[in-house]
Chain A
Amino acid sequence: MSRIRDPIDSIIAGLGKKPDASEQAANRAVIELKKAWVAERMAPTVLPYAGDTLETVMSQIRGLIEFVEEKSLLLHEGDITSSGQDGENIKLQLLVVETELERAKFVARGYLRARLAKIDQSAIYWSTQTPLDTPLSPKEQEYLQRRLIIKEKLYDSSFLLSLHSDLQNLNDTDGAVSMVDEPDLDKPVAIKVTKPGLDPVVCGNDTVLLEHGGLYMLRYSAIAGLPVDIV
């Protein structure tokens, strides 16, 4: 590795213009999905499904996988030695593309699993949502239905069926404590205000001004649906 830094490097470099890659790189679907992943991880409830963004990322992922398969074949069929110039180029491309690929896969995986985790947590509650109200995707709804059935079967055959038929419900809401776990919408979340001109929100007895650029921790219910970034 070269440890000497040529001062002329930086002078010449300063003369060059920056290509517009930076803007492209910053405004892409993977970055959008990463935001959705972050918000999904920290919000107490399942957020509206970012289906379009996810689809875009999935098709990009498929494109990258194809590229990797093609190039790997070239490298391993022996037509190109991995030490030659072409081999070096392919190796570098593979390195970059596969890193990007793994990063995109990680975000998509994290996004989908965070949603499933919250669906699992309040399964009965989510099953009571109407198709119009539910933030769950069709695939998630199917998962939820099957999950409820097998879980119910577990409780039934473990002990519920041995109890009086009046006691076999899983969704008792009477009595002191409801058995249906609902998302805790008052759970505090951290948000960043990335847009100017938002109205103040009411939070308990206080009114909170959402200053542009501000970082707040407040109950989720106060900012649900607002164009702020959950971080």
Chain B
Amino acid sequence: MALPGAYLEAFTAEEISFQAEDELITIIPRRHIQEMQLAGWKLPALRPMRRTDVPLWLALLLKKQDRCSIVFPNWMDEAVLKDFVEKERVEPGFSSLPWFWQPQSAALLAGASDDYTGNLDNIRQLLQDLREIRQAKVRQGITLVNESHMQMDGLSLMELNEVRPLMSKTMATLQKLHQ
């Protein structure tokens, strides 16, 4: 087969990070950068201090070259994350974190932590809390799977991808039993 079999069941974690890198994020350029023609779009000339939205991969690349700083998304503010954790604890559903919240926060904390204005240890802990609370919910949720469908609003792609093979197998088995 042209792909290893597992590739047709789920994505690899790296592939999900890759997908997340197309999400737009705001940067503050440090130096002038010429306009560039890219695949089907033009990166406009970047001027120092002028905020611009660019794909995450580009933001991280420019950051590495010390050409910009990155503006962390609102949801990564400590106060906002705290709210999320609180809600996640009390509400039965999944709070509506971004589709790519894990790879996005991981990439930003790895590549641009000096641009974060709050306390890094605190948000790392909050992100970890979120992950754990949500994982527990996912595990509970699997017991509710029926053979026809399952609604999982608010789950992120990474979380979905982790349980996808198991859920898919469970649903298929239930389908067979039902027939």
Contacts and interface: CB of A to CB of B under 8 A. Distances in A.
Dominant secondary structure at the B interface: mixed
Contacts of B37: 63, 67
A10 B49 CA distance: 7
A53 to B, nearest CB: 10
Interface residues on B, range: 35 or more
B175 A204 contact: yes
B150 A41 contact: no
A121 interface: yes
Given A21-B52, A216-B152, A113 B160 contact: no
A16 B54 contact: no
30 contacts: A12-B49, A13-B28, A14-B51, A19-B52, A22-B24, A22-B54, A25-B41, A29-B39, A29-B40, A38-B19, A41-B8, A60-B39, A63-B39, A67-B37, A96-B61, A97-B38, A103-B21, A106-B18, A116-B2, A118-B8, A120-B2, A121-B1, A190-B152, A204-B147, A204-B178, A215-B151, A215-B154, A218-B149, A219-B149, A222-B149
Interface of A: 1-3, 5, 9-10, 12-14, 16, 18-19, 21-22, 24-26, 28-31, 34, 38, 41-42, 56-57, 60-61, 63-64, 67, 89, 92-93, 95-97, 99-101, 103-104, 106, 110, 113-114, 116-121, 186-188, 190, 203-206, 208, 211, 213-219, 222, 231
